[in-house]
Amino acid sequence: MTAVFVNGNPETAAVWDPLLAELDRTDVLRLSPPGFGAPIPNGFDCTVLAYRQWLVGELESLDEPVDLVGHDVGGSTVVSVAMTRPDLLRSWTSDSLGVFDPDYVWHDLAQQWQTPGTGEKSVAELLGGTLDTRTERMVARGISRPIAERLAAAQGPQMGRAILAFYRSAAQPAMADLGRDLPAAAERPGLVIIGTEDHFVGSQSMRRRSAERAGARVEILDGVGHWWMVQAPARSARALTSFWERSEAS
């Protein structure tokens, strides 16, 4: 059984390093979505549905159900796969359930990215400058410096292209419409990670509502923000291990 980890924006697979160092598993595979730590293939349009199909293809090649874990863009993509291809999963974990709630409003940065002209300027500011400048931006967001340096090194025009295309395709009501199928995700055990200081993916009540509709357990990480896998790796590892053990027993 493989545990597959899918990162988000503006990241690479390096964001999982602190968490994986705490996990007692060797059957681990990290997948970076195109543009977010991996090259964008020719013809790939970086939309919500394109990322879902990309992840489906990657999982189909493994020839066995997996424990799928996703964060941010990767987190919403994991949920999208859980709703449509549960046969590929033994279990799923995500921190991005809130974006599927009918009342969810995208955070300020995402709304900038969804706006022509404003989005291009915002992405250039986010991903531009020297490596040191980009690193400091990530540190200011709560990422430890060694991880921030590795993420910043991968930030550039391809990531900017992916950000704009993904968030524009995800403008509401697109995600709320996809969220109508959340009950289908209950076919496999699910876990929703809720960092109490994560203000990007909806209120706690939105995340809890979506978790309930998806038949998923909830793990509350008090005092932890958007990057829970970096900020609380030991607690996160314990939560995942406990969830996987219950999934195996069920």
Q: What is the pLDDT of residues 82-121, one digit of tens each?
A: 999 999 999 999 999 999 999 999 999 999 999 999 999 9
Integer Cα distance of 140 and 143 in angstroms: 7
d(CA 234, CA 127): 30
* Residue 109, phi then psi, degrees to nearest 5: -60, -45
Give the alpha-carbon dihedral of 177, 182, 187, 189, to 10 degrees. Answer: 140
The pLDDT of 197-223, averaged and rounded, is 97
229 sits in which H/E element: helix 228-231
Rounded to an integer, the average pLDDT of 150-167 is: 97
**7-25: per-residue pLDDT in tens?**
999 999 999 999 999 999 9
Q: What percent of the chain has pLDDT over 90?
A: 96
CA–CA separation, 195 and 199 (whole Å): 9
The mean per-residue pLDDT over the stretch 149-173 comes to 97
Q: Which helix (H) or strand (E) holds 70?
A: strand 66-70
- pLDDT reported for residue 250: 67
Q: Domain segments of the chain: what residues?
A: 2-106+172-249
Average pLDDT score over the chain:
97
DSSP 181-226: GGGGGGGS-EEEEEETT--SS--HHHHHHHHHHTT-EEEEETT--S
Name the CATH code of domain 2-106+172-249 (choices 2.20.25.90, 3.40.50.1820, 1.10.3470.10, 3.40.190.10). Answer: 3.40.50.1820
Reading phi first (left if > 0) and then psi (alpha if -120 to 50, else beta), residue 220 is in beta
The residue with tokens 């314990």 is: 238
Predicted confidence at residue 179, as pLDDT, reads: 98
Q: Where are the alpha helices (DSSP H) in 85-185?
A: 108-113, 118-127, 131-140, 145-153, 157-169, 174-178
**Residue 247 has what pLDDT?**
87
- Whose structure tokens read 């992916």? 162
Q: Mean pLDDT over residues 141-162, rounded? A: 96
pLDDT score, position 164: 98
Give how far Cα 109 sits from Cα of 9, 125, 167, 201, Å: 12, 12, 10, 12
Give, to the nearest 10 degrees, the angle between helix 145-153 and helix 131-140.
130
Render pLDDT for 40-58 as a digit per residue (tens, 0 to 9). Answer: 999 999 999 999 999 999 9
Q: Say if residue 35 is exposed, middle or buried (CB neighbours under 10 Å; 0-12, 13-18, 19+).
A: buried
pLDDT tens digits, one per residue of 66-77 = 999 999 999 999
